[in-house]
Amino acid sequence: MELQFLGHSAFKVTLPGATLLIDPLLTGNPSFPMEMSVEEVSQGVDHVLLTHGHDDHVGDAIDILKATGATLTANWEICMWAQDKGVEKINPMNHGGCVDMGAFGVALTNAVHSSACSLDSTGSIADVYLGNPAGLVVMAEGEPTLLHMGDTDIFSDMELINEIYRPQIGIVPIGDRFTMGARTASMACQRYFEFQTIIPCHYGTFPILDQNADEFTELMGDNAFRVAAITPGETVKVHNGVLSAV
């Protein structure tokens, strides 16, 4: 598995037989590397996965899906909304479901947040309901299980997510205000999960979010060595839950 951080909550995941984009906010993302382009990131992508419908997570998804012919995996409401916008390949699912995509499996987990977009089907400004927010579990044979939490607060059923899926890699929002901050994110990781590697996200993008992962890393205490604050644009390999440079 290779992971490329694209800033905010956007990641490119390369698996044997599949290339995924998760929450691809690229255009308008201040932390997306200036030397990169949407077209470059989209090359080889055959799946786009969305945790929820907020604009800073849907991002360029619709344009990428149309340009590449990739398959969208998201909740039912997001898939129907995307189909109305011209996306042809959809894989609708919902919380508790698990779908075999061939090269990988994906499950949706709970997240404590909200989910809507600001544009309706005519392009007018409106709050469009897009189902419940989710976390994404990505599973592939011979690869570490990945949990992208999406946007969420801490909640005690995280313990069940760990028990059911045993994720080794955790992509965790830490930026506060709209998601967990450093204190609650570090508590969630240490109380409810057994991650081998933790990649913080949803920070440093906009001024109203926490600007770095320093406090989160400090609060991880003896588990601080598990935190990998990847620079936007950086790609890492994951083997047995451990990251290494590409």
**What's the mean pLDDT when you consider all of the chain?**
96
Residue with tokens 């907020």: 54
Q: Count how many residues are written for the chain.
A: 246
3-state secondary structure 125-170: EEEEECCCCEEEEEECCCCCCEEECCCCCCCCCHHHHHHHHCCCEE
Best CA proximity match to 150, nearest among 60, 25, 22, 45: 22
pLDDT digits (tens, 9 = 90+) for 186-230: 999 999 999 999 999 999 999 999 999 999 999 999 999 999 999
For residues 155-174, one letter each, b for 16 or more C-beta atoms within 10 angstroms of the residue's C-beta and e for the rest, the string is beebeebbeebebbbbbbbb
Measured CA to CA, the distance from residue 90 to residue 70 in angstroms comes to 9
Percent over 70 (pLDDT), the chain: 97
Domain annotation for the chain: domains and CATH numbers: 2-245 (3.60.15.10)
Confidence of residue 118 (pLDDT cuts 50, 70, 90): confident
- In the predicted model, what is the mean pLDDT of residues 141-161? 98
Asked if residues 174 and 181 have their Cβ atoms less than 8 Å apart, the reply is: yes
pLDDT at position 239 is: 86
Name the amino acid, one letter, at 17: G
Measured CA to CA, the distance from residue 34 to residue 90 in angstroms comes to 30
pLDDT digits (tens, 9 = 90+) for 77-86: 999 999 999 9
Question: Is the per-residue pLDDT at 102 higher than 90?
Answer: yes
Strand partners, 99: 106
Quick one: tokens of 142? Answer: 């011979």
- In the predicted model, what is the mean pLDDT of residues 94-120? 93
In order of 54, 57, 131, 135, 140, the CA distances from 116 in angstroms are 5, 10, 8, 16, 30
Dihedral sign computed on CA atoms, order 150, 152, 157, 163? positive
Q: What is the pTM of this model?
A: 0.96
Best CA proximity match to 37, nearest among 80, 67, 17: 67
